[in-house]
Structure 1
Amino acid sequence: MISRLASGFRNEPVAQRLLRNLKWIFSSQVAVALLGMIYLAFGARALGAAGLGMLALVESYGRIIERLIHLEPWQAVIRNGSEALEADNDGRFGRLVGLSVLLDLFGGVLAASVALLLVPVAAPWFGFDASQYWLLIAAAAAALISLRATGLALLRLYDRFDLLAKIDTAVAGLRAALAVGIWAAGFGLAGFVAIYVIVSLLNGTAALIAGIREMRRRNQQVRIGAVREALNENPGLLRLMWNSNLAVILRQTSQRFDVIILAALVPAASVGYYHVARRCGDVALRLGRPISQAIYPELTRFAARGELARIGRVVRGVSLGFAAVMIVVLAPVIWQLEPIVTTIFGDTFAPAVPVVAIQAVAVGFYMCGIVMNPALLSLDQDRVMVRIGATSTVLFFVLVVPMVKLFGVAGGAGTHLICNAIWLILCVVILRKSLRQTVVAKEVSS
């Protein structure tokens, strides 16, 4: 797969930079995935299926509110920051970063406030009584400080994927170690909720601190306060920020609200089985997202230079590579899934096996199109991304309730499978059309 990816970059420095970044991201994501499985295994054994289902609801609540309310500016910062750095305009870059920090701060405070206000409404839906309100209050606290988006943009623009990899691995290691300690001490649900809050706050600050240090090394400064000037220097920034976030929100809404919907349709233990399936799927996604993260800055540079054929070659190579990996790896894993699940999580999680299998296939479809979003963004097709996301999200909400009523908790995973397959088809069709239209437009203008 990496060979296919490299073949899309004939410029040797670009290929070397991309593959170096991928090495760091892949290695860190493998470590984070393994550490995440350790955390999940000890969480499952400490809490049981019902307790793990409650923890899943708490985490989903906090993350849904944060995702819906806190619009992340990192994609817009990378797009406009690349132009500022290429032009050696440190002033413009500093003002752009300052604006991004303000947007992150505002988004975190707003998300935490909304989460607090909705606690009396959400708690009864989850089946929590008044004595358990503190669970959702903790989730609101976890959303308060979230400056990671700006930090991500800085470290990716500076090609410091190595530093980002070390930060993510260290935080995941701390989470796994805390889970082992909480399990050994017998603190139960309260301990794991505390882990969630601590890790969220660390993730929200560590990358920005590292990014600002990198700025200082280059004699650049964050310029907070010049909001109007930053907006004038970066026309279309808010539009790109809104559309790129809206596409992700539409995409992740179904991935976050599924747990909330299941809470009203199935017992807490079934939610726990579904949580295991989702987390196992996240392991695979962690191995695929590095491609998307590392490739986006390169695709924006190709688009800026009008090298559209290279964009097409890279997307084809990566997508076919992922398809091959999914076929080779997924089939034997599904064949031996029951002993794998029961060994890791315990015999009580045997009912989760079919849910994990369906979710694995759903993730496979998504992985095959994981570079579609950065490719469409690089071609200024953010509005189209929103329409594709809206289509798959509406389809999910139409199907999920009848699917769960027909097939139980496995129906939730089956709904993801159907929607991911349709999403992939739409992305392929729209990307091919966008590349053809852009080529024709350039030929006409020339």
Structure 2
Amino acid sequence: MPASAEHDSRLALRRILSNFGWLLGGKGFGAVSSLIYLAILSRSLGVKDFGHFALIFGLSQAFVSLAGFQTWQAIVKFGIPHLARGDRDAFSRLSVLGGVVDGVAALFGCLAVTTIILTFGEALELNPAYDEMALAFICAMLLTRVSAPYGIIRALNRFELSVWVGAITPAGRLLAAIGIWLTGPSVGRFLLAWAIVELITAIAMWFTAWRLGPEWMRLSRVREWRTAVAENEGIRGFLWVTYWNTSLQAVVQQGPLLAVGYLFGTSAAGIYRIADQLAKGLGKFALLISDAVYPEVNRQRHAPRVEDFRTVVRRVNLAVIPMAAMIAGLSVAFGSDLLMLISGPGFEAGGLILVPLVMAASLELASVAYEPVLHSVSKAHYLLWTRIAAVALLLTAVFTIPENSLGVGWVVAYVQAFEYLVLSLLVWLAMRRLGRARSDGSSDR
């Protein structure tokens, strides 16, 4: 590799590590805070009420994913070339388009969730007294979801700002949990506090993005949405493919918890949620690495030499695979003790469930570079096909094989292993095809 190419590759990795460092600091604080407020929730509410809280929160997470487009990814993918050319107007139109898509999706989500909660609340063993509470909470979470401002901040490579604002959520939840614990815990009070914290975070994130460039968020740009679509060729298809990818991922992430509640009751859902929350700590670690990698992979995708791009991807994979194995080993060895320390009596069965869920999360971490790579080479549909197959496999297995919550956990692990193997093959094929297209001088987009 020429010296200049090696230098560019190292600079890219340094930017990834810098972004990751900021995100890790924020997520580290969030992880510690979440362990504390999770302990307060489970110990103060007990297994049954914590199960109600877990099901309502799980439904909210599922609906947020099902009703939301990944506009931040579109802003990064299509916005970085605009910024590189100095076309601030195009970036402004793209940013406003992202905000409009977020808002419209949230409104449609609120309409859909009303029907779902009123129809399936009883099937999930939600106490009828929680129906209206759950509906209000999920709508609040939908309306306070922010994606476009994250895209603006990340396209500008200002990860430190998103970290500071993102810390509002865990800090706010922790303070609220302590206050509620001291003054009288209830499911409703915790849900109300969580909704208020999300609202504060959303306002802060939009304000931060506005401060970085008020001209990028002018409401007058709304009527230029057709221009924004026209000057970002392929954005419609990209948004829909990433939407379905995220929606299917939501089924994989939240579906097992809801299935446990449906098949085995609210208390079983509470126990599963504790184990799932600890395992998802590893999944969140994967997510923050992906967030750090995503902008840089899209930048390197346009490098003159395809080998520079492949080198960055290869080095990221070589870094995360042993990291995933090490963290998974530590989680399996000490996770059960941590679970009991956090949750207390009544949640003992969660220790066994934690093992397969940690294995699934470690595979998610090992594949952290796959989504950014497939998006950057315009092969997001590969990810979509794989997740369609994974969701079909998951739904079939969950409702036919398990006899208890532990069985559901093992189904999740096996499905994640299937997804990892298939995506590994597809990424290898995509990178190989990219190399051939460049060597032939043909279009590789």
Q: Which amino acid aligns with 2:388?
A: A
User: Structure 1 CA distance, aligned partners of 2:145 and 2:285?
Assistant: 24
**2:292, 2:436 → 1: CA distance?**
28
**Aligned residues: CA RMSD:** 2.0
With over 3 angstroms needed to count, the CA separation of the structure-2 counterparts of 1:84 and 1:411, relative to structure 1, is same
Q: Equivalent of 1:437, from 401, 425, 433? A: 433
- Residues in 1 aligned to 2:235 and 2:297: alpha-carbon distance in whole angstroms: 18
Kept in 1: contact 2:15–2:296 (CA 8 A): no
- Give, in whole Å, the separation in 1 of the partners of 2:364 and 2:306: 23
**Letter matched to residue 435 of structure 1:** M
Structure 1 residue matching 2:122: 3-state secondary structure: helix
- String of CA shifts for 1:209-245, please: whole Å, max 9, x gaps: 21111013xx655322211111111111111111112
After TM superposition, the structure 1 = structure 2 runs for residues 258-407 of structure 1, keeping only pairs within 5 Å, are 258-405=256-403
For residues 177-207 of structure 1, what are the alpha-carbon distances to aligned partners after superposition, in whole Å with 9 as ceiling and x for unaligned?
1111111212311111112322332343332
Match of 1:206 among 192, 204, 207: 204
Shift of residue 373, structure 1, vs aligned partner = 0.5
Match of 1:105 in 2: 103
Quote the Cα distance in structure 2 between the aligned partners of 1:18 and 1:168.
19
Q: 1:338 to 1:439 in 2, by over 3 A?
A: closer
SS at the partner of 2:223? coil
Q: 2-side partners of 1:382 and 1:344: how far apart?
A: 39
Gaps of 5+ in 2: none
Paired AA for residue 384 in structure 2: V
Q: Is the 8 A contact 2:272 2:405 kept in 1?
A: yes
Is 1:425 aligned to 2:399, yes or no?
A: no
* Per-residue Cα deviation, 1:70-95 (whole angstroms, up to 9, x for no partner): 22311111111111111111111111
Question: Which of the residues 104, 113, 119 maps onto 1:115?
Answer: 113
TM-score by length of structure 1 reads: 0.93
**Cα 1:333–1:87, aligned 2, differ >3 Å: closer, same or farther?**
closer
Which shows bigger deviation, 66-75 or 228-237? 66-75
1:128 has 2:126 as partner: yes
Q: Deviations over 1:387-431 (max 9, x none)?
A: 0111111111111123322xx101121111101111111111011
Counterparts in 2 of 1:89-100, with a 5 A limit? 89-100=87-98
Q: Using the alignment, how far apart are the partners of 1:254 and 1:147 within structure 2? A: 20
Take 1:422 and 1:310, find their aligned partners in 2: how far apart are those partners? 30
**Mean Cα deviation higher: 284-293 or 350-359:** 284-293
Gaps of 5+ in 1: 1-6
Q: Conserved in 2, the CA contact under 8 Å of 1:84 and 1:93?
A: yes
**In the TM superposition, what is the alpha-carbon distance from 1:252 to its structure 2 partner?**
2.0
Q: Is the 8 A contact 1:8 1:314 kept in 2?
A: no
Instruction: Report the Cα distance in structure 2 between the residues aligned to 1:416 and 1:202, rounded to whole angstroms.
Output: 34
Contact 1:62/1:142, CA 8 A, preserved across alignment: no
- Over 3 Å counting, the alpha-carbon distance change for 1:290 and 1:104 in structure 2 is same
The answer (yes or no) to whether the contact 2:327–2:362 under 8 Å persists in 1 is no
Corresponding residue of 1:17:
15
Does the aligned pair in 2 maintain the 1:404–1:412 contact within 8 Å? yes
Secondary structure at the aligned position of 1:254 is classed as helix
Asked if 1 retains the 8 angstrom alpha-carbon contact of 2:317 and 2:369, the reply is yes
Deviation at 1:100, TM superposition (A): 1.0
Distance 1:86 1:19 in 2: 22
Identical aligned residues as a percent: 19
Conserved in 2, the CA contact under 8 Å of 1:254 and 1:396?
Answer: yes
In structure 1, C-alpha distance between the alignment counterparts of 2:188 and 2:283, rounded to whole Å: 28
Matched-pair contact (CA < 8 Å) for 2:360–2:413: yes
CA contact (8 A) 2:168 2:201 kept: no
Q: What's 1:250 paired with?
A: 248
Q: Distance in 2 between matches of 1:172 and 1:288?
A: 18
Write the distance in 1 (CA, Å) between the matches of 2:307 and 2:204: 38
TM-score between both structures, scaled by the size of structure 2: 0.93
Partner of 1:412: 408
Residue number in structure 2 paired with 1:156: 154
Q: Is the 8 A contact 1:32 1:173 kept in 2?
A: yes
Aligned to 1:3: none
- The letter of the residue matching 2:196 is I
In 2, distance between residues paired with 1:442 and 1:427? 22
